[in-house]
A and B are shown apart, each in its own frame.
Chain A
Amino acid sequence: MLEAVLLGFLFSIFLVFAGRYFRGKLAVLSALIPISLFVYFASFINEVAQGKVILESVEWIPSFGVNLSFTLDGLSLLFALMITGVGSLVFLYTAAYLKNHKYLDRFYGYLSLFMSAMLGLVLSDNLMSMFIFWELTSISSFYLIGFNNDKADSRKSALTALGITGIGGLLFLGGAVLLGDVAGTYRISEMLGMSDSILKSPEYILIVILIFAAAFTKSAQFPFHFWLPGAMKAPTPVSTYLHSATMVKAGVYLLFRMSPVLGGSDFWHHTLIIFGAITMLYSAIHIIFRTDLKGILAYSTISALGILVFLIGIGTQAALIAASVFIIVHALYKASLFLITGIIDHETGTRDITQLSGLKKVLMPVAIAGFIAALISGGVPPSLGFVGKDLIYEATLHFENNAILLTVIAIATNILLFYAGFVAGVKPFFGKLPDKFEKVHMPSPLMWIPPLLMTVGGLIFGIFPGLIETTFAKPIVNALVTDTEDFHLKLWHGFNTILALSATTLVLGTILYFTIKPKHKLEQAISKLDRIAPKNLLFKLSNGFVDFSSLWTSVFQNGYLRHYLSLIVAFLIIAVGFLLFKDFSLNIDLRSLSRVTIYEISILTMLLCSVLYTVFTKSRLAAVASMGVVGLSFSLLFLFYSAPDLAMTQFSVDTLTVILFVLVLYKLPKYLNLSDNKVRIKHGILSLVFGSMITLLILRVLSEPKNTEISEYYAENAYTLAHGKNIVNVILVDFRGIDTMIEISVLIVAALGVFGLLKLRLKSKDKK
């Protein structure tokens, strides 16, 4: 299985080098990759249908419990087949859709990168490897949405999508780490038995919230749904593949996978039901206001994802069956509708539903595909959509709480989805053909065969639901529910409540389709509400963040050195002062201090004089020189207190500092009084406070008991261990040599920094 996952990665790497051969007619050969993978995964259908779970594990980072372990059960097989199956059709379709595109090879590279990442995601049994594949899907999606990178719109949408799904990915990592911590393993198959102890752990709520956040961002649940309509800027094959059939279902897949481990609590079920219900209804209502075909499909996709989350939230066996069948239904009709939209866009140059009509005259096979897709989407018998819709109603009707309310929401959503399917799949083809579309001609068969194939599949599965029952529905339920009841998928259940509900949906949907016509006016009307839409609120939040950052920066980093210095000093005063005065006690034994001699008095006098001179002198050079005197006085002090090493170093450093100052200041104009007295007084107070605080700090240190253990160790061992008599130097080059090593590295970095900054400026000056 590892090879199957890696195949797409290898192919995209191969395209980096051999891409130019795949831009022309050979491009269609790329489809061999997903087709062969589809055949490979299809060969497991029998084994999995018999209830076998195929496990494979390759050690990757065993010390962290991160391994490439793959599992193939009903759920992952369904997703794998969907990824490779829809993938094959999309690969074929792209060859015609982007024919002779300059970057066709690049597009295939991104697509196969995505396919592999997605396969890895659904096959992973290890949470960590799943996270890595999860992120890879976000990244490849970023490239694909921004494929038309010369358009500002595409770039922005790509960034939004990456931002939202990226935040989700980060939260997923958090949830995975916490969950791995609680369970003691990252393997999902090992967690299955620990469900009870995980539910009782104090971190449970946090884990669930993090996993939800990941799933909701990826699967575009309210209020994170807005990246998906934006992602429609991508070329249609991408919308088909990533943003309706596979990637957006990754969040749903995660919820599926986690429901045996984390499900079972009220929090899990209620949250999912609430968010799913809001999403499915909210975005279904949005459909009415859209006129762009892809916009309609995007919102109906969000709504469908909402239904899936909603069903997982209900979590009964009936609901899980409904969800797994609905995934297949949705993949079949939504991918077809997207491909059909792509054909319409490709041939007529517009996706505006108010302009499109009568296309069946020129695009007959496409019209057939569109019609069948609409039937599946609307749940008209005998399509698989009908089976799927019945299962949904069965799940809601038999749920113990608020069954009526949930069923009403489900019916309302389904009516609107019926409308969406017919607007996208039927409306463009009926009515009068406008003159400007007379010359529209059929596209290459590579484009119209894939949607036709999928819709016909939807019909066949609908007539023979048994095909899905044994291959997918049962293995999935076996993988997710511990004690299963036997069930059968059927097209005809006899006359009962559910049939009545289905009929109501169909009738109301038809009425809706004939009464409401998509209009630009409606779209404009709803755009007035955009101000309070989650998208804009989030954008406002991010703009506010930027504004706050620039305000913060302009306050703390305004470019004036004196400002930085006073800020640093003020901060130190507050931070150190707080700790110092929290419990301040000063008890210095005056007798323990050594006697003050005439040397110290004279040096202190010298220090004081030169400090005062520095502050009040009118000449810059004189100030620098008297600063030098301060430094030299200090080195004298060190000398008196028997620290010759320190004195020497201080002496040389001070010499160099003075030279540096002189070099910089020498060429400046004569002393100008730039700061007024107010500022000077402010700085003076700041310095005085800082100085007195440091003095107090040192006095405080003196009153602490001395710890001489370390210095004694050095004194004893300097000669015996390091053959040196100068302890300071032995510490520098031997005992703590690695510190010195790092210090000289820092010194080099500083020198390089100065060199780079100044030389770069010199060069740009030279250019002028």
Chain B
Amino acid sequence: MLLPLAEAIERHVADGASVALEGFTHLIPFAAGHEIIRQGRRNLHLIRMTPDIIYDQLIGMGCARKLTFSWGGNPGVGSLHRLRDAVEHQWPQPLELDEHSHAGMAAAFCAGAARLPFGMLRGYAGTDLPAHNQNIRRVQCPFTGEMLAAVPALNPDVTILHAQRADRAGNVAIDGIVGAAREAALAAKTLIVTVEEIVDALPPAMNAIVLPHWVVSAVVACPGGAYPSYAHGHYVRDNAFYRQWDAIARERASFLAWMEQHVLGTRDHRAFLAGLQQEAA
């Protein structure tokens, strides 16, 4: 249950797997994503509502063959340049897109968590998305006759989350912005959670999200594991880094040099953070 990060990725994330690293702006599992890059996984089907910098990195490093997503920008800054390069120029390899709206993807995660075959919503009306994605179709309500949008359930082989804390039995607590983390977790076949801290007993919080221990495949102690996104109560989002990423990722050469130095060239997340701290000093 309690594993070091490298062993959790080694054991649970295989080449070709469908993998969802969730966390809506908050609690993005950067450390786990970097470890997937270090271990050189290939042909992954990446799933995430907002690919964010972590998927820009995985895509640019050639780990992905397919992306299921609903909004692919650098929030408040602009483009994800590596995602764009993959779509516009097939660099470093072609990337198949399974593109949704937030509402559609949320419905697909909810259906996955409930082990239903599809999610439905009043959505995608008058948009061109269904014409380009076979995974957006219409279904008729058997009671009213109303036509609704339908999307197939998302059931990732592996979902990876970052959370504030877990206890020694593997129960996981999350507070702050939760996005679709709970749905992505319960939709997965395997669930890995990296946490800021492992505690003897979770603080009593009747409505904080708790993922109970028997749905969790592995817990990894990984302080700072969401940086440069954030972990509410532990550290804030590094908005300046998100701005800097725009220049780092704009060109292939500067991107590769940065990844070589900071991710491939570091043993683990602690060394990654130490390198950035040294640079900032």
- B and A form one assembly: no
B residues sitting closer than 8 Å to A (CB atoms) are: none
